[in-house]
Structure 1
């Protein structure tokens, strides 16, 4: 921590150039000033909003090229690239009314363009949009995005699935660095809470060109909480209640920003009891508790923009096995996991005369503990077995320390061409301190170098690049005595190399259809569990054996996205075909050890294909009414004809949404009803069970209420309105005959000062 602070202070003492500023007025097409328009410079984490006269001003800007974004609900988003060569620049905007959602800057792709200009199709949702859907957890909210789902164990444990790929095939970025928390395991969550993020971007498809190994299936890119507007102070307090789990979420945030310095701090506490199914039975030990804290400090001048962030997350979550004890206690029973994640990231942008260099350094400490009681034959669990945890030593105790770096140079650009070169890498050490060993002590080193360019002309954009990666994994030998047998973790010293490439083209067909064609290769190096496992994995309730001879997974995906917009109608179609060489999966051998079925990692070529299709109707003159519909499906098969495991069922989602303002006391009001239809999943692997179709109905309403000088946001949601008892195909509890969560009434209120 001291090292990062020292680097920050050194960077901030560099002699600054002359200060730059930009100002102007923003009006509508009738030349009327617009109040509250967001004016933001994404890369500087700096923004403001217009006053009653439509006037805005941003000071202390770099002597360089910047992208200024202007966004306002109900109007088209505009983005201008400015070369600030003068001390003061005046730039006025006239905004045109827009029927559909605001266009937004995409941060997860290379050139930070508006979504409408981007070569890749990227889904984006704000934390507030996910909250409006009444999701109990962040990952549950993400699964409402077409093409995204989750492997879940109750509501406290969920892992993202993008177009049928999960685990280490989906890379998660937060605070600008890779999330490293033993993500190969399905039996613990992400460790990210909505209080620490502003929005999420989803890249569906291989993104190894930008991110290296583990981005074979896609990327979840979490944008951290924004700083306050320039020269302002903000305080917010949020309280949510979840009736099904008798759970609560309490969070707060404080922000302060002036022209040069900015600071924020956020915290949250989540507590949930066991969830209740549609049959009104509580699923024992699905309870969980979560504590979150994050803070950030930033500084910018005409030469450098720096941001230092820290995030802490601790989650205690029960590992469910049955429908047994029926109570509403919130302290997990045995077995349970205690997960702690600490992240520090340090981001700098150096503004050179005609180019810029961006660097992000990160350090992540992840500690994963699992506690369980050992019983003699004939003993049974009892409610009084609730810990204190100090009574037991953790049976599983893994420390994972990761240092990562990411340096990019945006070369001097012409009017039509932008080019970026960069390097990325990490050093990772895994150590065991528990009674049992799941994966051995090991060291991993990654290094990657890439080049990517974008060429824009008229209504066309062409973007491509190439990348080389290398990964080295070395582990220690372990001998674990278990009853009368010894399980040996043989030492490995493996290295993996790969070239990745991508090419994308965006154009407008027939002057009406926005079209994107992308072709990309990706790869995933085998992880420690796949290479070295040799023992009982209690979280999965099986004996797992690794395979040190595993090769890189390599894939090639073609992706076509077509979108048609008119003033009151939008329709889209996204299709993909994904071929994967050496797809790694775990398969039962038919043998048993210690009464546990033995599973072994193996490889087979595989293919996945499918897509997302839908429309958005905004009928005239009913400007307040929206009808949205989407359908997504995925087929995953091995080359031998067998289906891949844990492929989501086909899903149809229909939403009717009304948006309105009522005088001055209710702003941004909404009421919605969503019908989610999940189809029967019978395309299953040989050790899976099929799941039946089911329908879920969710309703919600909310908005910003102004009373006198006080204002607050309120949300009311009922999920699974008819208390349907159902089995999600990606639920890890369905093999035990345990349904998913039943009706859940959720209320949330947020005060801002």
Structure 2
């Protein structure tokens, strides 16, 4: 069957000219060949593996500069940039054994450097690593990374928080396209499933230079699943079970590649009952069901690479209003509920010239969000259609100086179809132009850039002026200039220092400009302010990083000053028994950081100890108010993990066992409309590895989260005001088969 599918695709493969190739042999430090090393060209999204002699060949490689990555478990990853100027280029590699994390190429930054060469510190984690933690959702697993938290509504809705900033202040990218799904609302989640995602990169700071408005607080950049190696066909099936929600997650994927063509597809179904708190009761209507489908097709040769991807996500989730009421294990959502459909289409094309390249991303997102109160007729239905474009031209390298110029923009239309309106019908248009340069000498790098943006928003009048749910016509234009400057140096061979100063901005969203009604879940009447100005910030980051063969250490510190920070404040009025809150602005500041270490003692090669601590403080600055804390600032957290690695004869490979102790401290620094939160400590265990039974092999992981069934309420839980605890004990069993 595999041979037939490959032959069919080969039948459509065009014959192309310019058969440039890179080949070589990969050995260890004893000059012995290594079998099964992954050799990957990220820009071409193609790869291969070494044969029994440690040899590899990559064909149809463009002339000029090409990046290659060499990865094998237990060995340090090598990333090579080569200059292809002839039809056959030979590159031999020697890999060294290591127990630490690999040094990945970072896609979300300007010049796609490996982490150790990058001017900006970027957190990188593979989805496979995050899934080993046994969390129920994608955003819950992201919240285990230092500096990242989540605003949660049960298990079904989570919004990322980066160093105290969330909502429209954090930009999310998937398939190279910015996600637009009405994320202004606290009850609106990411709308992404982790199946079919390879890894995530997190920029913790303003990234407006590359991404424009809404990247004021940072960026979550999800890298899609890689295609299969050339000439291979792969299928896999994974299954996860969750004891707390009686949940199930099933995913089936297939992918194949020829020398030029690539194809993959993955379908996933996720279903959960109401989650159970430590006392044994379930929180009514926190159940949800999710269907996700991803597919992609690509073609590459020595002149260009083009990849088209599509993601469909269907999320049916209950809206919990009664707290702990009817006890049931049903997975059928009750009223009120939400139904969210999301279509994401993306096209990435890279055209290679002899000494430069053009990288173009086009994206289209259709988001349909409906809310049902007591029948199948949606009382609230918002249709959001967004077209994104991003073009970057990598100029010819001039000595040690690299540079990029680019344009970026978005055209967006929001239309209401239900009888209730949260925001008016509106059109938004963005346009930005930028340039950035990178100069490298010895172990030093300087990177700088400048950008200009314009956002235009126009809305349509609705309803009777002065009444709830009415909106007046609005036409606004927002401009912003932003810049960044960064420096990286190796103080010693193993000790890196990074210092960055960058500005960012965020234009006010439609809810902040136009709100006129009761905001769901907050029990307050919110009034927008059409005179709001653009939020503008400047953040300074300092990163220190030490890495040797048995010890890693990092320390990150930041100070973030925001002009015209937008938030809600009581107006002193009551409408329909709801307190009225108005959107106002004041300057604000956030400061804090993360510190951690990873110790791998020799000769105890099977033992790892990791610890990290994160803290952030956010304050408003106003002459009239004095100084008041910002809302939704996560509590300090100290995370400790002991991990062992082992092999048991021939039936268990890459085995691991982890003990994690996560301590969250009291949060006493709260805004005037929040309550303080008590600290808590959670114990988590994990066990897994690859099991071989004859010719059958599969990956297994078992996780016990909140193993002691601790009763606690997270400070950023939206159930906190109702006194509803977070999830109790949850045991997760995960299986993955390569068919």
**Alignment TM-score, normalising by the size of structure 1:** 0.94
SS at match of 1:488: coil
Q: Offset of 1:234 from its aligned partner?
A: 0.6
Query: Deviation at 1:34?
Result: 1.1
Q: In structure 2, the residue corresponding to 1:424 is in which secondary structure?
A: strand
Check if 1:560 corresponds to 2:542: yes
Q: Does 1:710 align with 2:696?
A: yes
Q: From 410, 423, 438, give the equivalent of 1:454.
A: 438
Deviation at 1:510, TM superposition (A): 4.3
2:373 — aligned with what?
372
Aligned-residue offset at 1:641:
0.6
Q: C-alpha root-mean-square deviation of aligned residues, in Å?
A: 1.5
Equivalent residue number for residue 5 of structure 2: none
- Contact kept? 2:573, 2:579, Cα under 8 Å: yes
1:349 corresponds to = 350
**Where does the alignment leave 5 or more consecutive residues of structure 1 unmatched?**
1-11, 374-390
Matching residue of 1:409: 393
Kept in 2: contact 1:560–1:576 (CA 8 A):
yes
- Residues of 1 paired with 2:717 and 2:535: CA distance? 25
Q: 1:473 aligns with which of 457, 472, 482?
A: 457
Cα distance in 1 for residues equivalent to 2:221 and 2:643: 27
Cα distance in 2, alignment partners of residues 586 and 735 from structure 1: 17
Among 405, 424, 429, the alignment partner of 2:408 is 424
Whether contact under 8 Å (1:569, 1:615) holds in the other structure is yes
Does the C-alpha gap of structure 1 residues 316 and 18 become closer, same or farther in structure 2, counting only changes over 3 Å? Answer: same
Residue aligning to 2:163: 163
Residue 40 (structure 2) pairs with residue 54 (structure 1): no
- Give the drift of 1:466: 0.4
Q: Which moved more, 1:701-710 or 1:336-345?
A: 701-710
- Indicate the SS of the match to 1:168: helix
Does 1:695 find its partner at 2:681? yes
The equivalent residue for 1:24 is 24
**1:452–1:465 Cα contact (<8 Å) kept:** yes
Q: CA deviation at 1:480?
A: 5.7
Q: Corresponding residue for 1:522?
A: 504
Cα deviation, residue 414, structure 1: 3.1
Q: In the TM superposition, what is the alpha-carbon distance from 1:564 to its structure 2 partner?
A: 1.5
Partner of 2:657: 671
1: distance between equivalents of 2:17 and 2:484?
38
Counterpart residue number, 1:376: none
Deviation at 1:72, TM superposition (A): 1.9
Partner residue in 2 for 1:333:
334
CA, structure 1 residues 504+620, in 2 after alignment: closer, same or farther (shift >3 Å)?
Answer: same
> What stretches of structure 1 move > 6 A for 4+ residues in a row?
12-15
Shift of 1:224: 0.6
Whole-angstrom distance in 2 between the partners of 1:263 and 1:15: 18
2: CA distance, partners of 1:202 / 1:478: 39
Task: Give the counterpart of 1:550 among 514, 532, 535.
Answer: 532
CA distance in 1, matches of 2:250, 2:155: 18
CA distance in 2, matches of 1:464, 1:178: 23
Aligned CA distance change for structure 1 residues 460 and 481 (closer, same or farther; 3 Å): closer
Equivalent residue of 1:406, what SS?
Answer: strand
Q: What residue in structure 2 maps to residue 588 of structure 1? A: 570
Q: Following TM superposition, by how much is the alpha carbon of 1:665 offset from its aligned partner in structure 2, in angstroms? A: 2.1
Structure 2: how far apart are the matches of 1:178 and 1:79? 27
Measured against aligned partners, the alpha-carbon deviations of 1:458-489 in whole angstroms (never above 9, x if no partner) come to 0101111000000000000111699xx55431
Equivalent residue pairs, number: 723
Do the aligned residues in 2 keep the contact of 1:406 with 1:423 (CA within 8 Å)?
Answer: yes
Contact between 1:287 and 1:330, CA under 8 Å: does it hold in 2?
yes
Residue in structure 1 matched with residue 261 of structure 2 by the alignment: 261
Report the counterpart of residue 279 of structure 2 in structure 1. Answer: 279
**CA displacement, residues 15-63 of structure 1 (integer Å, 9 cap, x when unaligned):** 9541111111100110011122111111111111212221111112222
Q: Deviations over 1:252-309 (max 9, x none)?
A: 1000111000000001001000000011110001100100001000000111100000
The answer on 1:91 being equivalent to 2:91 is yes
Identify the range of structure 1 (413-422 vs 270-279) with the bigger mean alpha-carbon deviation.
Answer: 413-422
Which residue pairs with 1:569 in the alignment? Answer: 551
**Structure 1 residues 416, 663: closer, same or farther in 2, change over 3 A?**
farther
Distance (Å, rounded) in 2 between the aligned partners of 1:660 and 1:52 = 25
The reply to whether residue 234 of structure 1 matches residue 234 of structure 2 is: yes
Structure 2 residues not aligned, in runs of 5+: 1-11
Distance 1:486 1:189, change over 3 A: closer
1:66 aligns with 2:59: no
Distance 1:435 1:204 in 2: 39
Pairing 1:735–2:717 present = no
Give the distance between the partners of 2:447 and 2:267, measured in 1 at CA.
40
What is the CA deviation profile of residues 508-530 of structure 1, one whole-angstrom value per residue up to 9, with x for unaligned ones? 12444210000000000001111
1:631 is aligned, of 599, 613, 620, to 613
1:490 alignment counterpart:
472
- Residues 726 and 740 in structure 1, CA contact (< 8 A), matched pair in contact too: yes
Between stretches 657-666 and 106-115, larger displacement belongs to 657-666
Q: 1:375-423: per-residue Cα shift (whole Å, max 9, x none)?
A: xxxxxxxxxxxxxxxx432111000000110001000013411100000
Between the aligned partners of 2:536 and 2:465, the Cα distance in structure 1 is 37
Q: Which residue of 2 aligns with 1:359?
A: 360
- Of 343-352 and 411-420, the range deviating more from structure 2: 411-420
Report the Cα distance in structure 2 between the residues aligned to 1:34 and 1:52, rounded to whole angstroms.
8
Q: 1:13 to 1:570 in 2, by over 3 A?
A: closer
Partner-residue secondary structure (3-state), 1:642: strand
What is aligned with 1:605? 587
Residue 588 of structure 1 contacts residue 687 of structure 1 at CA under 8 Å; is this kept in 2? Answer: no
Tell me the TM-score normalized by structure 2.
Answer: 0.96
1 CA distance for matches of 2:188 and 2:334?
16
Aligned counterparts of 2:166 and 2:432: Cα–Cα separation in 1: 22
Alpha-carbon offset, residue 693 of structure 1 = 0.6
Aligned to 1:137: 137
Which is worse superposed, 469-478 or 566-575?
A: 566-575
Indicate if the aligned counterparts of 1:206 and 1:521 stay in contact, CA closer than 8 A.
yes
Report the secondary structure of 2:264's partner residue: strand
3-state SS, counterpart of residue 628 of structure 2: coil
